Amino acid sequence: MAITTPDELPPLPTGPPPLVLEGASGNSFRNFSQEKLPRLVTGFIATVPVIALVAVLVVLFWKAYPAIRYNGFGFLTRTTWRPGNAYANAVKTGGVLHPVAVSYGALPLVAGTLETSAIALILAVPVSVGTALAVVEKLPRRVSNAAGLFLEVIAGVPSVVFGLWGVLTFGPFLAHHISPFVADHMPDVPVLDFFRGNVGYGEGLLASGMVLAIMIVPIVAATTRDLLRTVPRLPKEGALALGMNDWEVVWKVSLPWVRSGIIGAAVLGLARALGETIAVAMVSGTILGQVPPNLYEGMSTIAATIAQQLDGALSDGTGFEVRTLAEFALVLVAITLLTNLGARRLVSKAAAATALPVGRGV
Amino acid sequence: MAPETPELSGGLSEGLDLYGRPPWSRVAKGYLGWGLCGLALLLVVAPLASVLWGVIGRALPVWHWSVLTEPTTATGGGLSDEILGTLEIVVGVGILAGLVGVLSGIYLAEYAKGRFGSFLRGASEILAGIPSIVLGYVAYIALGIGLHWDFSLASALIALSALTVPYIAKATESALRSVPTTYREGADALGMAPMRSLSRITMKAALPGITTGLLVALAISVGETAPLLYTVGEYTSYGPTVHLTHMSVSYLTWVVYAYNQGTFPQALSYDAAFILMVIVLLLIIGSRLIVSMTQRNTERN
């Protein structure tokens, strides 16, 4: 049998056309529509928050610039709130149009903002951590789930509802049952006399701080609860085996384990307290141009003032009050950003990642 | 989070008595600590329950179902305009912020890597930290005054979207990231085009997380007052409008805020607070249901 040469081989059977995978390179339209276009479109959209942020800062600065120039550095140390004479002709100082005898100072509002937030934080953090410990370690699972739902619902309650409750229920309760007792029993010595004074009718620094505390408790408590549930079982059991009782386990193992996370939660709460507007506007008593001399006096915060002075600002024909409010907004943004930066230094990344966006309510 | 070694100094066994019992001071500390925790729980639950009761207890005695259907009048009436206005705002935010938030979340999860990605995330985090009143005020300066939109629905939607987009984007990103890699690899191995695998496989698995984020954002925009004061204005006796600019829109939170300003009978403010709480409750229960349903599904799988 002769050996067949290649020429004589029968043709190979032709199979189905080679498989072309979808999206495989080579088809340029497919490549464009599947790879580049989505990337371009979503990438473009993803820059929107950046643009918004830049726009916010630019608009604020542009609007506030004349006010910054007129108010000067003294703005931060003055305590005045004098919208000036709206009926006299406006005057120009250094190219800035403003009403006669106008004078604004930021000190009372900055003090009010920081003091209410400090009260809120001092009251809310220990109470929230205690609650989270009780919920995670002591309550049965079912009750602790119910408590979780309760906290979530409360975190979603609109701040205006907290404000209403503060004015109608909590403020009067404070003024009738708690403040008089504290005010009467505090010794009249330098620092402590801040706690003395006319307790008023329940609108003021203490009421605002406490309403803020109640508003940030769900944030801090829910985050701390989630964190405590992430503490691994092994170190806790080890501590028990060494002879610690359950409180010592919590105090020496669980809490140190989640400490940075708790700091992060507290900073989230602080951010909410600093920027809270409506609830404070309703319970602050709205005294402008005075650093609160005692714990019960009416005051206001930057955010609440921006919200409340709209009508006044619109009636200032020179637009100077609108500009000054923009300057206040810049001060508030600066305070918030500094807090954020401080928080980042304090908190490691892993601890800051919580399941829900708990920053602003809900 | 760097796990820290618990401090075990002090020799726990040193203090034990003959029978191996700890000294009473350690026992007492435990009682004291747990007692304080119980007190803290009480201090948290009591005022929060009082908030709930304060609203429900005030609203129920004055509740009429006509509140839902009648417009506000000088002497009373209902809240139909405010409810419609709030719904209008919520739907608008849902569309605008939902679109922007979900798309940028997709970019952050799928494409953004390295420095640019962390730049975008940082900016979005800072935006989330800007107080809502500042956003409202900027919208008023730039859109209301600058573009002469006056009080308008459009500027409110933009302000609220600036507020909620960071949350939606973050929720979308983390939902997409938590989709198991095997899903993507399976789709790739079957030769699915990237967009198809994203829309048919990854997005489907991430949908519950994204929806939860959206509902949270909607709950925020239902309850916000501060960014609306300067943007859609305060209260209008004209009904809800579809005009995007130059027209105020009434909304529920303003009715609560203005409880003592004489514009509304106080009973309406209580009703508005009650309706707000019901809406928020529904949104939260909705998001919980979604989470628990998907958990059950994944368990079954």
Query: How confident is the model over A146-158, as pLDDT tens digits?
Result: 888 888 888 888 9
Q: Which residue of A has its CA nearest to B228?
A: A307
Cβ-based contacts of A33 with chain B (< 8 Å) = 195
Query: How confident is the model over A89-131, as pLDDT tens digits?
Result: 777 777 777 777 778 888 889 999 999 999 999 999 999 999 9
What pLDDT band is residue B25 in, cutting at 50, 70 and 90? Answer: confident
B285 pLDDT higher than 80: yes
Backbone φ and ψ for A285, nearest 5 degrees, come out as: 80, -10
Q: What is the pLDDT of residue A357?
A: 36
Beta carbons of A153 and B127 less than 8 Å apart: no
Which has the higher per-residue pLDDT, B275 or A84? Answer: B275
What pLDDT band is residue B268 in, cutting at 50, 70 and 90? Answer: confident
Nearest to B171 by CA among B229, B215, B139: B215
Query: How confident is the model over A188-219, as pLDDT tens digits?
Result: 777 777 777 777 777 888 999 999 999 999 88
Question: Which member of A131, A164, A246 has the closest CB to residue B30?
Answer: A246
Q: For the ranges A190-194, A229-233, B27-31, B297-301, which has the lowest average pLDDT?
A: B297-301
Q: What is the pLDDT of residue A2?
A: 55
Question: Which member of A149, A165, A258 has the closest CB to residue B51?
Answer: A165
Contacts of A206 (CB under 8 A, 6+ apart): A119, A174, A179, A295, A296
Asked if B113 and B180 touch (Cβ cutoff 8 Å), the reply is no
Q: At what angle do helices B24-59 and A205-229 cross, to 10 degrees?
A: 120
Asked if A336 and A131 touch (Cβ cutoff 8 Å), the reply is no
Q: What is the pLDDT of residue B287?
A: 84
Q: What is the pLDDT of residue B35?
A: 92
Chain-centre distance for alpha carbon A100 = 37
Give the number of other Cβ atoms within 10 Å of residue A4's Cβ. 9
Q: At what angle do helices A107-133 and A259-275 cross, to 10 degrees?
A: 140
What pLDDT band is residue A361 in, cutting at 50, 70 and 90? Answer: very low
What SS3 class is residue B205? Answer: helix
Distance, in Å, from the CA atom of B283 to the CA atom of A91, rounded to the nearest integer, reads 53
Beta carbons of A214 and B280 less than 8 Å apart: no
Q: Which residue of A has its CA nearest to B12?
A: A243
DSSP category for residue A104: E
ipTM, 2 decimals? 0.86
The residue of B37, B143, B276 whose CB has the most chain A CBs within 10 angstroms, and thus the best one to mutate to test that interface, is B37
Q: What is the pLDDT of residue B297?
A: 63
Q: Which residue of B has its CA nearest to A63?
A: B141
Query: How confident is the model over B122-174, as pLDDT tens digits?
Result: 888 888 889 999 999 999 888 888 888 888 888 889 999 999 999 999 999 99
Q: Report in angstroms the alpha-carbon separations of A202 from A165, A199, A299, B260.
A: 12, 7, 12, 16
Q: What is the pLDDT of residue A213?
A: 94
Q: Which residue of B has its CA nearest to A46?
A: B104
Q: Chains A and B: how many Cβ contacts under 8 Å? A: 312
- For B60-152, where are the alpha helices, taking DSSP H only? 80-106, 114-129, 132-139
Distance, in Å, from the CA atom of B297 to the CA atom of B300, rounded to the nearest integer, reads 5
